[in-house]
């Protein structure tokens, strides 16, 4: 069992009836860890393990993946359930390879704008999932705001109070869809046949499509007017651009607050936040103080 995380070994043996011979950690969050695993029969799988304390677990993610499969390409689910003796849950999917859309852009295989179009195509498909098909309880947008306030303090949120007021006034009139909540180039895996597959579903939320579109714009740094125009064109159905702009402000602050403590990451998101204040001063309180370099944290 050398080189295999114990939780991975138990998950593969208990859920797949297979032996894992190697595992490599791909990502780790506060409530889940993802591994790439090679099995004794030579097959490769991806194992995502959720902590027992996770608000949403592998069972929920498997249901989301199954519902999404009718509308977008996703990695096939091979097994899901409790990890024997640990109380954790695990989702095991087929390993489609190591190439993400992010990597393809970085290597120059795809132009940035073409990659953005591919991401929007996946969002458009995901937003077609019927409202009744997923066992995820409703969550008001105020919960997202409260969660952010717990991380950064209510005084920080005052800086984007106009943006939050804009969101509150517009969000209720939009038809809600199932939002993925984290579509960026790194969450799109390109299989050997060239197809895009959407992964990672713990952030799903029933809200306006602009929530997802703004989040994708934020994470891919597609904030130029031409980028928004391209997204609207490829998405097809009408988009509230004012709501998108306000949500980009919200997502940017959230990314800043959740960024790693590394100074480079902090400086990157701080710079983007201040650039937004310069571009959309109407969505900020005292925007000139931000653009002058004053910290808000």
- For residue range 177-210, list pLDDT tens digits in order: 999 999 999 999 999 999 999 999 888 999 999 9
Pair (19, 141) in one structural domain: no
- Rounded CA-CA distance 267/290 in Å is 13
Q: What is the pLDDT of residue 2?
A: 52
Pair (138, 269) in one structural domain: yes
Q: What is the pTM of this model?
A: 0.90
Q: What Cα–Cα distance (Å) separates residue 159 from each residue in 56, 143, 163, 295? A: 31, 18, 9, 11
Pair (226, 244) in one structural domain: yes
Pair (13, 37) in one structural domain: yes
What is the CATH classification number for the domain harbouring 61?
Answer: 3.30.200.20
Pair (189, 162) in one structural domain: yes
Pair (71, 109) in one structural domain: no
Q: How confident is the model at residue 296 (pLDDT cuts 50, 70, 90)?
A: low
Domain that holds residue 23: 6-94
Final residue in a domain of this structure, among 50, 70, 94:
94
Pair (82, 156) in one structural domain: no
Pair (81, 201) in one structural domain: no
- Rounded CA-CA distance 20/270 in Å is 43
Least confident of 7-16, 39-48, 129-138: 129-138
Q: How many domains does the chain have?
A: 2
DSSP state of 117: H
Q: What angle do CA 269, 273, 279 make, to 5 degrees?
A: 140
Q: Please state, rounded to an integer, the average pLDDT across all residues of the chain.
A: 90
Pair (51, 169) in one structural domain: no
Pair (42, 134) in one structural domain: no
Laid out side by side, the sheet with 77-82 consists of: 20-28, 32-39, 44-50, 89-94, 77-82
């Amino acid at each position: 069992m050398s080189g295999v995380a114990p939780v991975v070994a138990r998950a593969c043996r208990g859920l797949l009836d297979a032996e894992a011979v190697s595992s490599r950690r791909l990502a780790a969050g506060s409530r889940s860890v993802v591994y790439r695993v090679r099995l004794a029969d030579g097959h490769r799988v991806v194992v995502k393990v959720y902590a027992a304390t996770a608000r949403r677990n592998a069972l929920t993610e498997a249901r989301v993946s199954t519902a999404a499969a009718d509308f977008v390409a996703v990695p096939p689910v091979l097994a899901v359930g409790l990890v024997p003796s640990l109380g954790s849950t695990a989702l095991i999917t087929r390993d489609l390879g190591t190439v993400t859309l992010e990597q393809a852009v970085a290597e120059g295989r795809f132009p940035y704008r073409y990659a953005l179009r591919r991401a929007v195509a996946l969002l458009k498909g995901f937003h077609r999932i019927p409202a009744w098909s997923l066992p995820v309880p409703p969550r008001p947008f105020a919960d997202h705001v409260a969660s952010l306030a717990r991380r950064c303090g209510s005084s920080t949120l005052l800086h984007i109070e106009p943006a939050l007021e804009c969101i509150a006034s517009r969000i209720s009139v939009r038809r809600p869809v199932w939002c993925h909540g984290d579509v960026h180039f790194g969450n799109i895996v390109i299989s050997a046949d060239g197809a895009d597959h959407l992964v990672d579903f713990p952030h799903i939320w029933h809200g306006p499509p602009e929530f997802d579109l703004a989040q994708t714009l934020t994470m891919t740094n597609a904030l130029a007017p031409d980028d928004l125009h391209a997204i609207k064109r490829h998405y097809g159905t009408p988009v509230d651009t004012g709501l998108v702009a306000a949500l980009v402000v919200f997502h940017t602050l959230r990314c800043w607050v959740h960024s790693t403590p590394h100074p480079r990451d902090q400086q990157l998101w701080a710079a983007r936040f201040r650039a937004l204040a310069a571009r959309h001063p109407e969505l900020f309180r005292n925007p000139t103080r931000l653009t002058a370099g004053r910290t808000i944290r």
